[in-house]
Amino acid sequence: MAAAAALAAAEVDIVIPTIRSLDFLEMWRPFFLPYHLIIIQDGDPSRTIKVPEGFDCELYNRNDIERILGSKAWIISFKDSSCRNFGFLISKKKYIYTIDDDCFVAKDPKGNDIDAITQHVRNLETPSTPFFFNTLYDPYRDGADFVRGYPFSLREGVPTAVSHGLWLNIPDYDAPTQLVKPLERNTRYVDAVMTIPRGTLFPMCGMNLAFNRELIGPAIYFGLQGEGQPIARYDDMWAGWCVKVVADHLGVGVKTGLPYIWHSKASNPFMNLKLEFTGLFWQEDLIPFFQSVKLPKECVTAQQCYVELAKLVREKLSHIHSYFEKLADAMVTWIGLWDEFNSNKAGGAGLAASS
Amino acid sequence: MAAAAALAAAEVDIVIPTIRSLDFLEMWRPFFLPYHLIIIQDGDPSRTIKVPEGFDCELYNRNDIERILGSKAWIISFKDSSCRNFGFLISKKKYIYTIDDDCFVAKDPKGNDIDAITQHVRNLETPSTPFFFNTLYDPYRDGADFVRGYPFSLREGVPTAVSHGLWLNIPDYDAPTQLVKPLERNTRYVDAVMTIPRGTLFPMCGMNLAFNRELIGPAIYFGLQGEGQPIARYDDMWAGWCVKVVADHLGVGVKTGLPYIWHSKASNPFMNLKLEFTGLFWQEDLIPFFQSVKLPKECVTAQQCYVELAKLVREKLSHIHSYFEKLADAMVTWIGLWDEFNSNKAGGAGLAASS
């Protein structure tokens, strides 16, 4: 197990956006200590955020982002948890695990602490099955398999791009639902991991999310949100719609289910309503758009898919609001940065030093 | 609760195919007693099958089926559990629950007996959500809802056509998997019900299955299997592919998950291999066929959809084997019988008496 953890640690960066403090890391210490952490400090860069001792960690604030990205820093949102994108960009690891700073270690029904990151790595390292539904859920799990009637030609599965984990305690509800059900808590531990079928969109939450950065990283851009933008609290949704469309096109998989984290703090529903307001409207047009997106066969990498998607956003969504033109620009700029940071000649560190 | 059970009993028939005995009903007594049972005795009609005392029950053997359906009796399979179709045909109830005679009452993780039929009725009476995936599973369940990012325009859901229940203990594996994993048992209780998204096929097992007969009954024909046919053990799979395509076209939902039953007896894997042999081959062609089926807009009832599907089966599958021409004939005959048995002027009983 120790060897497996060390191997996994060499392949995973944990990316955490925060404006508050990193006290929540204390509870994760036994699980996160082997991993490298990339902390993105949102908000006022002059504030000091204390990193708990002993963690292998680098911390970036807004000044760092401006210095490193220069004139392209505008594509990293400010005062919104989508600033985590900077961490995805500068990582050199195969996998990213990103978690919010109000998420704690959950317990399984036997009362054991759940090692979320190990479960995510397992989800990412076993195949997905997006082309046919398996009624006993993840067929690659111990004690499970493909059921009678599952085509043999599909049993090898496809690589997994995304592992979407869930939340006990405070569920990820929108502001209207929070207002209507202020006391609802998620107490149901559903012991399953499943592939979301091809052609089906889902609401991807960024609280407890892992992905294969090498395979799909370019398509997980959380967009322009927060300060100066007409939309907030839709950063992860935007990334989820985009990444699902790209994953479906590339023939790779998106899983949801285990692991659970314990979500401690419901954000203020009145503030959320204000922040979500535009997104609640726009999603009724955005989802049909994403449901109808068809990417050309020539797009065979996540980068190519994402640039094509940016074109479609500009073409088909600009009539809703000029914001979508700006977003399309940001999407293209994001891919340019991704290529710079991930080319062999100019690594992130080199580029950072030269900026 | 008693009133609710009585109400449900007035709307549900339980259909059970059997060649052995009905001893398994003893364990179901507290749950099935309020319901009407339709027993289809498969195999030698001269054998006597004893019905446990106290159940409200009608029993049909092959002689009855021949007498009632006359020259059309050939479309009801012999020596195959797909003979249960006769029960679906003569029922007058809104819902059907069908269960195999080697399925017993399972226990939930707290050790309570699971009332499978009540859970199925709940699944059928609450909407489905086939157009967008909800990460907290069934949004209509107590303690759950639609998560952030779920479009409000889709939250009313659509009527539920099918409720596919699962199995603890012996999983529903095909013969090759049974041979490879003879000792594997399903011990994982996954506390979830979910809608299988539109456009995604699934392997529908007939062991523990409920459906809205009025809404989708005509599309749940288990086909020609068993004696005299080149295929067996694919009756429920056939019905599952057909019903999913028809449900997707009609915009109604198919759910899977709870309730579990306890599946006691693994059938003989060598015998199964012999029986499944053709199906294992054919499914590699049949599934792409069903994945590509498009029904015309003019088809607005399950009957119309099913007749259209029969045309496509004849047109696109006959090159595999002449069996599919015969199956297409049977599908059309099935719809004819359905209409006779379900028209206002000629009820099942009337037709039975006149045959």
**Residue % of chain B over a pLDDT of 70:** 95
Q: What mean pLDDT is predicted for residues A182-191?
A: 96
Residue B348 lies in a domain: no
Instruction: Considering only residues A304 and A281, tell me which one the structure prediction assigns the higher pLDDT.
Output: A304
Q: Chain A within 8 Å of B173 (Cβ-Cβ)? A: yes
Reference B275, options B225, B332, B333, B337; nearest CA is B225
**Residue % of chain A over a pLDDT of 90:** 87
Is the per-residue pLDDT at A107 higher than 90? yes
Q: What mean pLDDT is predicted for residues A50-66?
A: 95
Domain span at B337: 2-342
User: What is the per-residue pLDDT for A128?
Assistant: 98
CA A187 and chain centroid, separation: 23
The size of the A-B interface in CB pairs under 8 A is: 169
Mutate: best of B137, B147, B166, partner A, most A CBs <10 A: B147
Q: Do the beta carbons of residue A213 and residue A342 sit within 8 Å?
A: no
Is the per-residue pLDDT at B15 higher than 70? yes
Residue A182: C-alpha distances to residues A265, A341, B184 (Å)? 12, 43, 43
Q: What is the CA radius of gyration of chain B?
A: 20
Instruction: Give the CATH number of the domain where residue B51 resides.
Output: 3.90.550.10
User: What is the per-residue pLDDT for A343?
Assistant: 86
Q: Do B198 and A200 touch (CB under 8 A)?
A: yes
Q: Chain B within 8 Å of A273 (Cβ-Cβ)? A: no
Is the per-residue pLDDT at B93 higher than 60? yes
Instruction: Considering only residues B268 and A336, tell me which one the structure prediction assigns the higher pLDDT.
Output: A336
Q: Chain A within 8 Å of B234 (Cβ-Cβ)? A: yes
Q: Do A200 and B171 touch (CB under 8 A)?
A: no
Residue B301 lies in a domain: yes
pLDDT band at B54 (very low <50, low <70, confident <90, very high): very high
- The span from the CA of B173 to the CA of A143, in Å, is 12
What are the chain A neighbours of B240 within 8 Å (beta carbons)? 149
Number of H helices, E strands in chain B: 12, 9
Residue B247 lies in a domain: yes
Is the per-residue pLDDT at B347 higher than 60? no
For A314, list phi and psi in degrees, rounded to 5: -60, -45
User: What is the per-residue pLDDT for A4?
Assistant: 66
Stretch 35-74 of chain A: residues touching chain B, C-beta under 8 Å: none
For A249, list phi and psi in degrees, rounded to 5: -65, -40
Q: Do the beta carbons of residue A235 and residue A79 sit within 8 Å?
A: no
Instruction: Considering only residues B269 and B122, tell me which one the structure prediction assigns the higher pLDDT.
Output: B122
Q: Chain B within 8 Å of A100 (Cβ-Cβ)? A: no
Q: Give SS3 for B218.
A: helix
Is the per-residue pLDDT at B266 higher than 90? no
pLDDT in tens, B289-308: 999 999 999 999 999 999 99
User: What is the per-residue pLDDT for A274?
Assistant: 87
Is the per-residue pLDDT at B44 higher than 60? yes
- The span from the CA of A259 to the CA of A164, in Å, is 8
User: What is the per-residue pLDDT for B20?
Assistant: 82
User: What is the per-residue pLDDT for A160?
Assistant: 98
Residue A353 lies in a domain: no
Q: Who among B145, B191, B284 is closest to A173 (CB)? A: B145
Would the pTM count as exceeding 0.80? Answer: yes
Residue B177 lies in a domain: yes
Q: What mean pLDDT is predicted for residues A274-289?
A: 92
Q: How many residues does chain A have?
A: 355
Residue B349 lies in a domain: no
Rama region for A226: left / alpha / beta (φ>0; ψ in -120 to 50; rest): left
Does ipTM exceed 0.85? yes
Mutate: best of A128, A129, A133, partner B, most B CBs <10 A: A133
Lowest mean per-residue pLDDT among B205-214, B283-292, B346-355: B346-355
Contact residues for B229 (Cβ-Cβ < 8 A; gap 6+): B77, B80, B323
Q: Do the beta carbons of residue B188 and residue A144 sit within 8 Å?
A: yes
Q: What mean pLDDT is predicted for residues A334-339?
A: 98
Q: Which two tokens stand for residue A207?
A: 């609280």
The mean pLDDT value of chain A amounts to 93
Is the per-residue pLDDT at B352 higher than 80? no
Q: Do B284 and A153 touch (CB under 8 A)?
A: yes
pLDDT in tens, B148-184: 999 999 999 999 999 999 999 999 999 999 999 999 9
Reference A206, options A59, A87, A33, A354; nearest CA is A87
Q: Do B145 and A202 touch (CB under 8 A)?
A: no
User: What is the per-residue pLDDT for B348?
Assistant: 43
Residue A30 lies in a domain: yes
Q: What is the total count of domains within chain A?
A: 1
What are the chain A neighbours of B197 within 8 Å (beta carbons)? 196-197, 199-200
pLDDT band at A351 (very low <50, low <70, confident <90, very high): very low
Q: Chain B within 8 Å of A190 (Cβ-Cβ)? A: yes
Q: Which two tokens stand for residue A92?
A: 């050199």
Q: Does B159 sit behind a cis peptide bond, omega within 30 degrees of 0 on the bond before it? A: no
Q: What mean pLDDT is predicted for residues A270-279?
A: 88
Residue A349 lies in a domain: no
Q: Who among A137, A197, A236 is closest to B190 (CB)? A: A137
